[in-house]
Structure 1
């Protein structure tokens, strides 16, 4: 089964100025836009308003809009054996020094929330129950790609499964299929933590170009073939071979993005 992708415009991003994250300086010099590695965010301690409530284990993103819809949180020793879904609308600013992710939820909110079954996809009925329990806005049926942190709007929905929610851990390791063949695998995904849009893929080409990693925009994926564990892109081997090298120790700033988009000849999102 194939999944098509559409371009998702970003919001005005202004948070999290710290050198240890993927950083993009806005041209005014007064605001900082942050990108996060999902590999980095895994394992962050999730904080309720009245204490720790678990750790981040995974992310579920919508493969039609490229938006993270839920974080999977393992409640650990506090509630052994349970995993819960937390919407990004409930998440506050991450603390990179302490690896903590504050939320606006209480421990009671989380303890009494519907638990996550081990199997995917997450049913629409489960999502309706979560929205009702936490008073989260229902995202389905909206054309606006941004997250609404204030709306309490509810809608009539069909209570069927949602096959478009995909696990980030699932796609790590997927092969990248370019025009001529396979050119590497997905090593990491970089997410925009204000809009929670998937922004970039980190591609490890070690089996083809030893020691080289590159990034491409998530929007450049034409489709996934889930049964083959592949992400398809309309790029050539030559483009990837000559692409700017990705170094995770350096910030992804506007100059880097301009270089990247100019090299590939793609329209920018900003």
Structure 2
């Protein structure tokens, strides 16, 4: 069953742990390689001095739009004692490793064991202990974990300009998230004055690249192609039939085909 959700409609939802409410969704962090949501940024409120915490989709057990709630398989104590991460700064890979080790979530950066529900492999046998001298040398030359420039804030990217091959299309106003894989399937683009503010969907896979410094996304489409595409109505559920019509219009593999090729990373 198709389960595509507007990120805006998920924003602000209350998060419930096994033993009570822990806060509400404030933002989403996604990676700009696979365009997959990697963390929900949760504003905890007064019970945790308004600290913001990161919760991976692996912890989400249910999303109930009818009651504006997201359930996670964690306890409030687990969240309280989790590694503190300053969400006002870029999240480093080192902090991600600490967080994922704490919760037991698998890493996603190697492209393995990243789908929700998949388990990390068993740990390799511990190697023989090094001599003091060799151990000191190994510690000295151990590479530092690099920062993770691929994590992006949905709040920040919302508002980016979208450019066709022959001019501007509009601005990104929302993201359509596949709840089964937490992959961003479409960018919602407000066309502004050039097409009466109609909204259209563009898949990240159709982009030629993102200029993060200029806050622009370029797509290999013309304005005429976009203007003749099926209009997106955010007030209506996004159906598989609409998605297939959209992909047919752009002569791209149908959503049902691309989604079934999922989703290993």
Give me the TM-score of the superposition, normalised by structure 1: 0.83
Tell me, yes or no, if structure 1 residue 49 matches structure 2 residue 35.
no
Aligned counterpart, 2:139 = none
Q: Name the CA distance, whole Å, in 2 between partners of 1:149 and 1:106.
A: 21
For residue 258 of structure 1, report the CA deviation from its aligned partner: 1.7
SS, match of residue 203 in structure 1: strand
Structure 1 198/147 Cα, relative in aligned 2: closer, same or farther at 3 Å? Answer: same
Tell me, yes or no, if structure 1 residue 104 matches structure 2 residue 90.
no
The 5 A counterparts of 1:81-230 are 81-143=50-112, 146-151=115-120, 159-230=145-216
User: Is the deviation greater in 147-156 or in 238-247?
Assistant: 147-156
Aligned counterpart, 1:61 = 30
When the two chains are superposed, the root-mean-square deviation of aligned CA atoms in Å is 1.9
Give me the TM-score of the superposition, normalised by structure 2: 0.85
Tell me, yes or no, if structure 1 residue 250 matches structure 2 residue 236.
yes
Q: Deviations over 1:205-246 (max 9, x none)?
A: 022111311112221122110111111110101011111111
Structure 1 214/157 Cα, relative in aligned 2: closer, same or farther at 3 Å? Answer: farther
Q: Name the CA distance, whole Å, in 2 between partners of 1:74 and 1:101.
A: 13
Q: Aligned to 2:45, which of 56, 76, 86?
A: 76
Conserved 8 A contact 1:135-1:152? no
Q: Which has the higher contact order (CA 8 A, sep 6+)?
A: 1
Conserved 8 A contact 1:89-1:149? no
Aligned counterpart, 1:26 = none
Q: Name the CA distance, whole Å, in 1 between partners of 2:201 and 2:240.
A: 14
Structure 1 149/157 Cα, relative in aligned 2: closer, same or farther at 3 Å? Answer: farther
Conserved 8 A contact 1:137-1:154? no
For residue 252 of structure 1, report the CA deviation from its aligned partner: 1.7
1 or 2, which has the higher helix percentage? Answer: 2
Q: Which has the larger radius of gyration?
A: 2
Aligned counterpart, 1:4 = none
Q: Which runs of 5+ in 2 are unaligned?
A: 125-141, 260-265
Structure 1 153/69 Cα, relative in aligned 2: closer, same or farther at 3 Å? Answer: farther
User: Is the deviation greater in 170-179 or in 140-149?
Assistant: 140-149
User: Is the deviation greater in 213-222 or in 94-103?
Assistant: 213-222
